[in-house]
Every structure is written in structure tokens, then in C-alpha cells.
Structure 1
Amino acid sequence: MERKSAGGSIRNKERSKKKFLDAVGKILKTKGYQALKVNTIAATAGVDKKMIYTYFGGIDGLINAYIRSKDYWSMITIEEIERIKPKIDDGGKSFMEEMLLSQFDYVYTNKEAQKLLLWRISEPRKSLKKLTDTQEENGEHIFKLMMDPHFGVRSRDFRAILAIIVSGLYYLNLYAAVNGSIFCGIDIHTPKDRENIKKAISYLLEQSYKHLKNSDK
């Protein structure tokens, strides 16, 4: 009986934590990050606000947990890379192509991820700074594992290209969600034009790997 009770307590805890995380997402989507207050989150979740401190150590801990669960690149952790063991003999080209195409679709379909991106560029906050630091740490692991050995002295040139691609994909999705779907005559909301963007991603990667590889020799 004690074992069953303990198991039930753990399940209740996980359900309550999920309610808090879901509440953060709901508020972020409907009211914006300014409305993320302890009382509002607790009321939306239908859980005693004291549990925010019990489970997460406070609102910053809750928001940290929420961010990690929704940000695309935060999910690509060092541990996850080691688990999936991506192909590295192509300099990480196939892995990076898959990641970029997935990022493009993930942000487009995930309204919470869109709000999170807008929040990151709108307000300085420890949780958001920590997110950026974690992303950079994970990204550095990927670069050193795959891209740096492949590109050698041209590695920073490739990093610059990738920075433009990643940020461009973020912007296109945010632009389509907030201000309109057409950018440079491309309608981000149509399957055909989204496919054109994906082809452009593949092309840019192909050209980068083709022209930067061994160009220092």
C-alpha cells in the first residue's frame, strides 16, 4: 500500500507540474509574457500557487522548465546528440539539413515557440539569457564534433552562413505569423512556397559544403 501511495503521489506531482507548464504556454499565447505572474499562472493551472515554489523553486524555475520544453534548439542537447549518434563523415551536412528543415516546420506550427522567440528579443531576463547560453553550449558541441574538423580554417565562415540561415528561418515564420505571409513574393503559408524555402536551405548547405571544404589547401 505504501508503494502504491508513493506512486500516486509522484503521478499527482507530474500532473500538477504539467498543468503549470501548460498554463504558462496558454498565458503566453493569449496574454503575452507580461501576464506571466504567479497568481495568474496558478489560477490558470487550477493548482495552489505554493506548488510553483515546491516543484520549481519559484516562477523563474517554472519559466526555465517551460522554455526548455518548447525551444527547438534547447531540445538538441549534448546528451541527445550522443544518443542519436549522427553521421559525421559528411561533416554534419545531413544532420544539419535535417535540423534546419525540422526547425522551420516546428516554429511554423508551434504558436508557443513563436511567442517565446518574440519574448526573447523583447525583454532581458535571466531565464532567456540562460536559454541562449544553453543553446550556444549545445551548438558549440555540434560544431566541434562535426563542422570544425570538416571545414578547418573556414569553419567560422560556415558558422556565419549558418547564423544567417537559422535567424532567417526564425524571422520568416514570425513574419508570417504576425505581419503577413508574403516575403519577397514567397507566401510562407502555402505548401508550395514552404517547399521552395526548404529547397533553398538544402541548396545553401550544399553550396557551403562544396565551396568551403578544403578551400584552405
Structure 2
Amino acid sequence: MERKSAAGSIRNKERSKKKFLDAVGKILKTKGYAALKINDIAATAGVDKKMIYTYFGGMDGLMDEYVRSQDYWVKVTSEEVEKMKPLADDGGRAFIETMLLSQFDYVYTNKEAQKLLLWSISEPRKSLKKLIDTQEENGEYIFKLMMESHFKDNMEVYRSIMAIMVSGLYYLNMFASVNGSIFCGIDVNTPEGRKNIKKAVSFMVDQTYENLNDQQEE
């Protein structure tokens, strides 16, 4: 009976934690980050606000766990990358193309991720700084594992190209969601428009690898 009671307590804790995390997402999507107050989160979750301190250690802990659950690049951990190590033989070419295209789709379909991106450039907050630091740590691991030995002296150029591509794809999705879907004549909210953006991503990845490789061979 004690084992069942302990198991039930764990399940209740996980359910309550999920309710809090879902509540953060709901408020973020409908009212924006300025409305993320502890009383409102507890009311939306239908759980006593004291449990936020019990389960997360407070508001910052809750926000830390929430942002980790939503950001695309935070989920690309070193453990996940290790599983893809065979792809490193091409200098990470196939890997980075897949990641960029997946990021493009993930942010488009995840309104909470879009709100997090807007929040991260609008307001300083510890949990958001941790998000950015984790993104950088994961990105650095990928660069060192797959690309650094491949590009050598051209690595800084490669990093700069990737910075432009990642941020550009983020912006296109947020722009299409908030203020309109037409950007440079491409409707980012249509299947055809998104298909063309993806073709452009593949083209830019190909050109990056081909041109930087040619420079190294000269």
C-alpha cells in the first residue's frame, strides 16, 4: 500500500507540474509575458500557488523549466547530437540542413515558442538568459564536434552565416504570425511559400559548404 501511495504522490506531482507549465503557455499565448504573475498562473492551473515553490523553488524555477520545454535549440542536447555522429563525416552538412528546416517548421507551429522568442529580445530575465546560454552551449558543442575541423580557418565565416540563417528563420516565422505573411513577395503562411523558403535554405547550405571548401583548397 505504501508503494502505491508513493507512486500516486509522484503522479500527482507530475500532473500538477504539467498544469503549471501548461498555464504558463496559455497565458503567454493569450495575454503575453507581462501577464505572467504567480497568482494568475496558479489560478489558470487550478493548483495552490504554494506548490510553485514546492515543485519549482519559485517563479524563476518554473520559468526555467518552461523555457527549456519550448525552445528548439535547447532540445538539441549533446546526447542527441552524439547519436548523429556518423553525419559528421560531411562536416555536418546534412545535419545542419535538417536542423534549420526542422527549426523553421517547429517555430511556425509552436505559438509558445514564438512568444518566447519575442520575450527574449524584449526583457532581461534570468530564465531567458539561461535559455540563451544553453542555446549557445548546445550550438558550441555541435560546431566543435562536426564543423570546426572541417572549416578550420573559415570557421568564423561559417558561424556568421549560421547566425544569419538561424535568426532569419526565427524572424520570418514571427513576422508571419504577428504582422502579416508577405515578406519579399513570399507568403510564409502558404505551403508554396514555405516550400520556397526551404529550397532557399538548402541552396544556402550547399553554397556555404561548396564555397568555403573551395577557399580552403586554394
What TM-score, normalized by structure 2, do the two folds share?
0.97
Letter in 1 for 2:71: D
Letter in 1 for 2:179: N
Moved over 6 A (4+): none
Question: Which residue pairs with 2:154 in the alignment?
Answer: 154
Unaligned runs of 5+ in 2: none
Aligned residues: 217
TM-aligned CA deviation for residue 213 of structure 1: 1.6
Question: Which residue pairs with 2:27 in the alignment?
Answer: 27
The answer to whether the 8 A contact 1:152-1:214 is kept is: no
The answer to whether the 8 A contact 1:93-1:209 is kept is: yes
Q: 1:150 to 1:114 in 2, by over 3 A?
A: same
Question: Which residue pairs with 2:68 in the alignment?
Answer: 68
Letter in 1 for 2:173: N
Q: Taking every aligned residue pair, what percent have the same amino acid on both sides?
A: 73
Moved more, 207-216 or 192-201: 207-216
Q: 1:30 to 1:168 in 2, by over 3 A?
A: same
Give the Cα–Cα distance (whole angstroms) in 1 for the partners of residues 107 and 113 of structure 2: 6
Question: Which residue pairs with 2:112 in the alignment?
Answer: 112
TM-aligned CA deviation for residue 86 of structure 1: 5.0
The answer to whether the 8 A contact 1:86-1:95 is kept is: no
Question: Which residue pairs with 1:185 in the alignment?
Answer: 185
Question: Which residue pairs with 2:102 in the alignment?
Answer: 102
The answer to whether the 8 A contact 1:151-1:214 is kept is: no
Q: Equivalent residue of 1:48, what SS?
A: coil
1:92 aligned onto 2:83: no
Question: Which residue pairs with 1:17 in the alignment?
Answer: 17
Letter in 2 for 1:122: S
1:213 aligned onto 2:216: no
What TM-score, normalized by structure 1, do the two folds share?
0.98
1:127 aligned onto 2:127: yes
TM-aligned CA deviation for residue 82 of structure 1: 2.0
Give the Cα–Cα distance (whole angstroms) in 2 for the partners of residues 128 and 110 of structure 1: 18
Q: Equivalent residue of 2:90, what SS?
A: coil
Residues 29-48 of structure 1, C-alpha deviations (whole Å, 9 max, x = no match): 01111111111000000001
The answer to whether the 8 A contact 1:114-1:174 is kept is: yes
TM-aligned CA deviation for residue 77 of structure 1: 1.1
Q: Equivalent residue of 1:215, what SS?
A: helix
TM-aligned CA deviation for residue 78 of structure 1: 1.4
Give the Cα–Cα distance (whole angstroms) in 2 for the partners of residues 79 and 24 of structure 1: 28
TM-aligned CA deviation for residue 80 of structure 1: 1.9
Looking at secondary structure, tell me which structure has more helix per residue.
2
Give the Cα–Cα distance (whole angstroms) in 2 for the partners of residues 20 and 156 of structure 1: 41
Residues 163-206 of structure 1, C-alpha deviations (whole Å, 9 max, x = no match): 00000001100110111000000000110110000000000000
